[in-house]
Every structure is written in structure tokens, then in C-alpha cells.
Homo-oligomer: A and B are copies of this chain.
Amino acid sequence: MNPGKDDKLVLITNDDGIYAPGLRTLLEVMEEFGKVVLISTMESMSGMSQALTVKTPLRVKLLEENDNHRIYACNGTPADSIKLAVNQLLDRKPDWVVSGINHGANASVSVLYSGTMAAAIEGCLYGIDSVGFSLNDFTRAADFSSCRKYVRIVMGTLSSEPLPQGICLNVNIPSVPESEIRGIMICRQAKGNWKEEFEKRKDPMGKTYYWLTGLFQNHEPEACDTDEWALSNNYVSVVPVSVDMTAHWYINKLKEKFNT
């Protein structure tokens, strides 16, 4: 694969591993836009957030190459994968970082835990237009066919006008037949959290261990401008995500509190 000067160079990854159907769907659609470099892990990296590998060495292996794409396997997190690709594997800065399509939604506060969104945020920190896509279905049998249209629309829109510095997109697609999707809704991250219910078990030695499970709770189910609302009403949600986590509106009040 030799991307020409006028070819778009697209870097893609995910957090469900290299064999995930969602990633394969994304690869096929992104090849319509340009040359694609795919980097992912052999195993799933769900819930890895923006974690970096600092205590073990990173390894990467070229698995496949043809005229349209190059596929690498890596042993790091999604954030590691983007860093490695941008710094070591690519001859030039990619035009886009596209992550997903995740098996399961990454709406509301899941953006904080998501490896898929971490990869998009990582691309954004390098000044690259970046998008994370997720389908609201975490099962292996998830049907990604309705996603194709919306990946095309979102990336087509970015083709004509890039995003501002420090902003990437979090796109969640409802898991319904394409005909039932009511379109795209630009929205904000819903307020909510995960209510954890740890499963407490005993191992064969009689020692206690825990499995993390959980149930998402939307704290504002009535608000109709959130990603959670969009998804439950069969809209594709698009949230602009900022790498700046400052609560700007609270700075002056905090100054009063601290008398500074």
C-alpha cells in the first residue's frame, strides 16, 4: 500500500480486537474514502479507557497488506495503538483517526471508560480529525449493516470541513433496521452513572473474588437533547467531545470559595 499525495490516509482501530465484525465493517467503509491503516489487538480491550502501557514492552506485527490497506496487530491499549501508529508505523500524519465500530454503546459517561473513544481522543490530541463509532448492541450477533450509511454521512461531512482543534466526535448508532433509524441528532452527553453490582464468588481454594458488573442509570431520562435520549428514540447520536475537561463555568465561583 502506497498512499499517493492526494489519497486520504485513514488510521483505524477499536477496542474489541482485530477479529470484531464492527472493525471489519469500518475497514470496508473507510476504504471508500482512502488508504487505510488498521491497528488493533488480538484480544478485546474493552473498558481500557485512555490507559497507556508503561510497564511492559509494546510489540506490533504486520499481518496483511494489499493496495488498499495495511493491517497490524499490537499488544497495547487502543491509546497505545494510535501512538505507535502515528509515531512509528506511518510515514505521514493520517488525515483521520476512526475508531470502532464498537460492540455496545458508548453514550453518556461511558465515554470516560471507553477504549474506542480513547483512541479518537488520542487522535484528536495529535490534531487529527477523529471519530469513534459505536453500535448499541454488544452481542456477537450484532448487525452492523445499518451503520454503513451513517459512517459515510459523518465522514463525508468531515471531508468538506474539518473539526476545530481539541474536539472529536462520539457517534452512537441504534441497533434497529436502517429503515427505522430517524436520522442524526447532534446532542450532549447525558448525565448518568453506572450502578455497580459486583458478583462475589469463592474460588476452589475458598477465597473471595469479585466480578464487576453494572447497570447504567440515566439521571435525566426526560431531557430530549442527550445521547441517551437520541439512542432510545432511534436517532444516531453525535456528541462533540472536548479534550479539555475544565468546568469553565465554575472557575469564578471556585475563586470566590478559595478567596483567590
Contacts and interface: CB of A to CB of B under 8 A. Distances in A.
Given A186-B260, A241-B245, A87 B196 contact: yes
Nearest to A203: B57
Contacts of A50: 49-50, 112-113
Contacts of A57: 201, 203, 209-211
A121 interface: yes
A51 B54 CA distance: 14
Report, as a range, how many residues of chain A touch the other chain: 35 or more
B211 A246 contact: no
A201 B79 CA distance: 21
Contacts of A208: 59-60
A188 interface: yes
A115 to B, nearest CB: 8
B161 A257 contact: yes
A210 B86 CA distance: 14
Contacts of A88: 198, 200, 210
What DSSP secondary structure best describes chain A's contact surface?
mixed
B84 A245 contact: no
Among A86, A118, A207, A246, the one with the most B-chain Cβ atoms within 10 Å of its Cβ is A246
Contacts of A58: 198, 209-212
Contacts of A166: 191, 247
A167 interface: yes
Nearest to A189: B246
A72 to B, nearest CB: 12
Interface in A62-92: 77, 79-80, 83-84, 86-88
A207 B60 CA distance: 10
Given A50-B50, A58-B212, A88-B198, 19 more contacts: A46-B54, A47-B51, A48-B51, A49-B52, A49-B118, A50-B113, A52-B212, A79-B113, A86-B196, A87-B196, A125-B193, A166-B247, A186-B258, A189-B246, A238-B254, A240-B246, A242-B245, A242-B246, A245-B245
Interface of A: 44, 46-55, 57-60, 77, 79-80, 83-84, 86-88, 109, 111-113, 118, 121, 125-126, 153, 157, 161, 164-167, 183-189, 191, 193-194, 196-198, 200-201, 203, 207-212, 238-248, 250-251, 254-255, 257-258, 260
14 contacts: A47-B51, A50-B50, A50-B113, A54-B212, A58-B211, A59-B209, A125-B193, A126-B193, A166-B247, A184-B258, A186-B251, A187-B251, A188-B251, A242-B246
